[in-house]
Amino acid sequence: MIGKIIGAYAGDKLAKQTGSVGGAGGAALGVIAATVLRRMSLPAMLAIGAGGYMAKRLREKGAVGKA
């Protein structure tokens, strides 16, 4: 229960920063993300984290090259 509340709070904060997702939609995404993460294995979580980090680095590198 507490995990769902924390996930909803984090999703709501993320939605406010993104702009394309409303507050309630972000809260729902946070709850879904918390549920998915709870069911994933540690290697899968690490692979997703590393992939997200690499995507961020590539996106920032492309933005610096364009500026």
Q: What is the pLDDT of residues 36-67, one digit of tens each?
A: 777 888 888 889 889 989 998 998 888 776 65
Alpha helices in the chain (DSSP H): 2-18, 23-39, 42-66
**Alpha carbons 34 and 12: distance in angstroms, whole number:** 13
Does the predicted model carry a pTM greater than 0.85? Answer: no
Tell me if 29 sits within 8 A of 11, measured CB to CB. Answer: yes
pLDDT (average), residues 19-33: 71
CB atoms within 10 A of CB 47: 12
Q: CB under 8 Å to 9, separation ≥6 — which residues?
A: 27, 30
User: 22 vs 43, which has greater pLDDT?
Assistant: 43
